Amino acid sequence: MHATLTRLGSLDDLAARDTPAARLDPRAKVIATLGFVAVVASFGRHDLLRLTPLLAYPLALAALGDVPLRPLLLRLALAAPFVIGVAAFEPLLDRSPALSLGGWEVSGGALSSATILLKFLLSLSAALLLVATTGFDAVCVALRRLGAPRALTTQLLLTFRYLFVLGEEAARALRAHALRSPDHPRPTLRAAGTLLGHLLVRSLARAERVHAAMRCRGFAGDLRLLRSFRLRPADLAFLAAAAALLVAARAADLPALLGAALGALPAGGFR
């Protein structure tokens, strides 16, 4: 558990480096990422090929931020089982043929399944790259300055901070359990319930102490962080490039246009 949390925190370490992506105004990256996720979500369940040009955004951001592939893939793999679980049922629900590729018939369900996986890959990689090039705290401050509710950004900041403390407490509790239960080092369902209950009670007690400490230093509902943001020409250029990609991908069938231009695909694409 401790190792998992350390991996989570290491994305923040990547953001601390001086790279072109890290130098961009966090607000520009937040706007671009939110727009990107919204556009990805707006595509239909059979729009697999129309989504592919959007791969350019995470690839460009990863290149600008010099983000290594391995930590990104590790985090994607952590979340993948949930999405694979959803996508796995699609081929069973829709077996009607949707397209033909070189004599191979692809069912609507298979196409839909692949689209879900690509949407997941695009959306999560964009969110991870936002943190890896900006830092979680700067993302929260940017969200706040863009008008996100104070309660939301405060919760996000405190959750991120205390995730590590809670993780250490959980790891200690699990270790203590394992040491006194040599034949069953993993807690039973009942023991796990008790451990979770203890963690909840401890978290409530800690929350009260943290709130007291915050009030002692004048907390009145707003977490003020020392961050000064400034939009520069590079930020505007980044926003313009991201907007151009999103508008083009949404308004036109770029792979079909490319295929038509090359004479390899019909102008209607694979719809």
Partner 1 sequence: MSHHLVSLADVHFRYPDGTPALRGASFTLHHGESVGLVGANGAGKSTVLLLLAGVIFAERGSVRVGDWPVTPATLAHVRRALGMVFQDPDDQLFLPTVEDDVAFGPANLGLPPEEVRERAEAALTRVGALHLRRRPPHRLSGGEKRAVAIATVLAMRPDILVMDEPSSHLDPAGRRALIDQLRAFEHTKIVASHDLDLVQDVCRRTIVLDGGTVAADGPTGEVLAGRDLLSRARLEPPLRVQACPRCGSGG
Please report, as ranges, the residues that interact with partner 1 according to CB under 8 A.
Answer: 9, 12, 16, 135-137, 157-158, 160-162, 164-165, 206, 209-210, 212-220, 223-226, 228
Residue with tokens 């699609």: 90
| Shortest distance (Å) from residue 152 CB to partner 1 | 16
Q: Please, which residue, 180 or 209, has the CB nearer to partner 1? A: 209
Nearer to partner 1, 16 or 77 (CB): 16
Q: How far is the CB of 34 from partner 1 (least distance, A)?
A: 21
Minimal distance, residue 16 CB to partner 1, in Å: 7
**Residue number, 13 or 105, with CB nearest to partner 1:** 13
Q: Least distance (Å) from partner 1 to the CB of residue 159?
A: 11
Q: Shortest Cβ distance from residue 19 to partner 1 (Å)?
A: 16
Are 116 and 86 in contact by the 8 Å Cβ rule? The answer is yes
For residue 68, which phi and psi values (nearest 5 degrees)? Answer: -65, 150
To partner 1, the closest distance from the beta carbon of 136 in angstroms equals 7
* Euclidean distance between CA atoms 26 and 53, whole angstroms: 24
Closer CB to partner 1, 211 or 232, in the complex: 211
CA distance 24 to 64: 10
Q: Kindly tell me which of 76 and 158 has the beta carbon lying closer to partner 1.
A: 158
Asked if 262 and 37 count as a contact pair (C-beta separation under 8 A), the reply is no
Query: For residues 95 and 224, which CB has a smaller minimum distance to partner 1 in the complex?
Result: 224
Nearest-approach distance from CB 61 to partner 1, in angstroms: 22
Nearer to partner 1, 64 or 223 (CB): 223
